[in-house]
Chain A
């Protein structure tokens, strides 16, 4: 049974505009899947459906065997087991870095302050930001904030991690520091679904690449095949555009 199972998911905004068309794919345990495609192709929407931040009208998504749309599913409980990293970091600006990492550990997992703090400090050390633990998010650079956001998600001991364009709001010189953390995570065997344009990252650690356009999954193939000879013309055009420089 795959960790994330997406079956024929369709989503409309209003009666006319369809953002997702019959999307079907799966992410196995320990697998790293990169989702790419032109902007507006629905890749961010798809990843947000996986932890039910976005509703969808038809199809089904199972995470670790649990059906998202089953009314008896405890969504907060399920979401707590899936880490999510956002394009704009979304650290809580009124809380210190440590409080950002401890809040959900204490309120959702019921850990004690000490326990949560120990976990937080270990993770901050891992992303190289232990010295900044007492600061507020606004005092850190974009790259540092995104590393904190990854640490915050990891603090919940997630079974899978979702990344929604984690580097596209960053200045170029900060992208590497974030990707390094993600590469390390991938090599440790974390199940990851990553929406990104960073093809270097995809080549390095992805097992599979999904290419989306206009709400459809056009290609869903092992990395080597995808970068070797993309079958669809649209994927070829897309790749030639991002890899041109």
Chain B
């Protein structure tokens, strides 16, 4: 059945696929998950704050990002950021933004909308009495948020956050549209060069599956460990 195929092409291109491609993918996933979580937490706090204006800004942002296809956002940022940079810095030419930076900014901003919804649920899951107890001890809003609310919200939401990160890991393959050499980009370049499309795309699918599957099993194992005793 596989007589017409040449799986040796995978073996030959392994260093390129992983050293260039996968390291880019993992780096992009990790950094934009981290950035998205920080920004998303800020957005969630804005939405839950008493200040209407802040809440409206955050709500608008989240709704906008969640209503746009990711590919479009990637395109827009790739083309817009250089011009925005030009406007801000006032230079004569569009700013040169590397492919990695552009992708990182895009994914951070995009994922922040999703992480903010997760963190909002997490924060709301903390009983009000916890906040009252913090205030009663003389802690300020910042201290109550930083020492009492967010640590518990993060712990409660960790499985969901990690699951969202696994989705993000798969979504990063969309940078392929910018001809960036992420894992899928690398696989696709080899596939085109050697005319081995089926082999390479099969292999890429297998790798994405294995990593995502293993990661979600890990999340399940972790879930039991991090649960707070109540």
Contacts and interface: CB of A to CB of B under 8 A. Distances in A.
Contact of A136 (B137, B140, B229): B229
Contacts of B137: 79-80, 103-104, 108, 152-153, 156
B contacts with A: majority SS: helix
B140 A76 contact: yes
Contacts of A82: 136
Interface in A121-166: 136-139, 152-153, 156
B156 to A, nearest CB: 10
Given A93-B228, A138-B228, A138-B229, A107 B143 contact: yes
Nearest to B147: A103
Interface in A77-110: 77-84, 86, 88, 90-94, 103-104, 107-109
A196 interface: no
A51 interface: yes
Interface stretch (B106-114, B127-135, B194-202, B216-224): B127-135
Contacts of A51: 136
Interface residues of A, number: 31
A245 B27 CA distance: 69
Contacts of B127: 88, 90
B151 A104 contact: no
Contacts of B132: 48, 53, 86, 90
B138 A156 contact: yes
For B133, B147, B148, B152, the residue with the greatest tally of chain A CB atoms inside 10 Å of its CB is B133
B110 to A, nearest CB: 30
B139 interface: yes
Contacts of A83: 136
B138 A86 contact: no
Contact of A80 (B130, B133, B138, B147): B138
Contacts of A138: 228-230
B155 interface: yes
B148 A88 contact: no
Contact of A92 (B130, B135, B138, B229): B130
For B127, B137, B139, the residue with the greatest tally of chain A CB atoms inside 10 Å of its CB is B137
Interface in B130-183: 130, 132-140, 143, 147-148, 151-152, 155
Nearest to B136: A84
Contact of A77 (B138, B152, B229, B230): B138
Contacts of A88: 127, 129
Nearest to A82: B136
A156 B134 CA distance: 13
Nearest to B154: A94
A132 B122 CA distance: 29
A92 B230 CA distance: 10
A104 B229 contact: no
Given A88-B129, A90-B129, A103-B147, A53 B228 contact: no
Contact of B133 (A92, A108, A156): A92
20 contacts: A77-B138, A79-B135, A80-B137, A81-B138, A82-B136, A86-B133, A86-B136, A90-B130, A90-B132, A93-B229, A94-B228, A103-B139, A104-B139, A107-B139, A107-B143, A107-B147, A108-B143, A138-B230, A139-B229, A156-B138
Interface of B: 127, 129-130, 132-140, 143, 147-148, 151-152, 155, 228-230
A-B pairs with lowest CB-CB distance, top 9: A80-B138, A138-B229, A90-B133, A104-B137, A84-B136, A108-B138, A90-B129, A79-B138, A76-B138
